[in-house]
Structure 1
Amino acid sequence: MFGTHFSLKARAAGIAKVAGLAGILALAGCSATYQNHGYVPPEEDLMQLAPGVDTRATVDDVIGAPSASGMLSEGDYYYVRSRVRHYGMFEPEVIERQVLAISFDGQGVISNIERFDLRDGNVVPLSRRVTDSTVQGKGFLRQMLGNIGNVNPADFF
């Protein structure tokens, strides 16, 4: 009788350890993760640039090539940095976005330097690619049985 009682206590302790470990793993799975994308130069680097004086070549030398530029080859420079939070099963959320826009005049001289963030406007997707699903509006059985009539006996030989 003592041996049976002891084994029940040991099993209960083992179950409690497994349940505790599962709880810790579940909590760890619910923690947010963050991803940083892009680059915006720091303010001290921007202080080296003077509108009306410095050119496109100076910008390239001081702060580097932009992450995006205007539609034309001589367009404005845009440096974009985003911070995205991923939290469990929820859709990723952009929690911070900075855009540095450097405008140039017709001679390639800096005309304006501006900073924007999420408070200055709406989140605009820079690229969006959508592929239509071919299974939309089809039930499970129709998808499973849809190829039955498409079998060609010549394929077996």
Structure 2
Amino acid sequence: MAGLSKAKLGLAVLVLCAVSACAAVYRNHGYVPSEEELAEIVVGVDSRATVDDVIGEPSAGGLLQGGDYYYVRSRVRHFGMLEPQVVERQVLAISFDSNDVVQNIERFGLEDGRIVPLARRVTSSSVEGKGFLRQLLGNLGNFDPTSIFNQE
């Protein structure tokens, strides 16, 4: 009788593991300021520095230096072995005029279907198409021994 209850317990644990593996897992990425935080910013009055102090710089700040601010938050659903699916996305765009004064604040959602243009500038690499040995041996002729001993 004890062997039968252990088998039932083992089967119950196995079924529980199988059911829990099929549960959806949600992950949140990014940050969008709340309405209370946005209420502290006055369009046409506050500057980029004020936005940095009140809300903070967006994570895309380095990419969009000197441009508008974009705060992005996404909620992604992972379900078993299926491809992850974005179920919610919010984009908060704060645009500035030429004097770095807040010009407009807009909020977009996944349901809006509006695309926010993000400019991406990439510097080309000088080592593209060169193998490791070619890069290593290419520097041999550029060596100047006087630079080690600080002699001119």
Normalised by the length of structure 1, the TM-score is 0.68
Seen in structure 2, the aligned counterparts of structure 1 residues 72 and 64 have a Cα distance that, compared at 3 Å, is: closer
- CA gap of 1:77–1:122, structure 2 versus 1, over 3 A, is closer
Q: Secondary structure at the match of 1:19?
A: helix
**CA-to-partner distance for each residue in 1:83-137, whole Å, 9 max, x for gaps?**
111111111111111100000011111110000010011689x89xxxxxxxxxx
Task: Give the number of the structure whose alpha-carbon radius of gyration is greater.
Answer: 1
Partner residue in 1 for 2:48 = 56
Q: Which runs of 5+ in 2 are unaligned?
A: 121-152
Task: Give the CA RMSD over aligned residues.
Answer: 2.3
Where 2:27 maps in the other structure, the secondary structure is strand
1:103 to 80, 95, 106: 95
Contact in 2 for aligned 1:70/1:76 (Cα 8 Å):
no
Residues 120 and 43 (structure 1 numbering): CA distance in 2 closer, same or farther, change over 3 Å?
same
Who is 2:83 aligned against? 91
SS of residue in 1 equivalent to 2:4: helix
The 4+ residue runs of structure 1 with deviation greater than 6 A are none
User: Where does the alignment leave 5 or more consecutive residues of structure 1 unmatched?
Assistant: 1-8, 128-157
Q: Does 1:27 align with 2:10?
A: no
Question: Match of 1:32, as an amino acid?
Answer: A
Higher fraction of helix: 1
Change (3 A) 1:123 1:73: closer
Q: Indicate yes or no: 2:2 matched with 1:13.
A: no
Identify the residue that residue 124 of structure 2 maps to in structure 1.
none
| Cα gap change, 1:116 to 1:106, in 2 (>3 Å) | same
Per-residue deviation, residues 3-46 of structure 1 (Å, max 9, x unmatched)? xxxxxx44333222211110011111111111111100110110
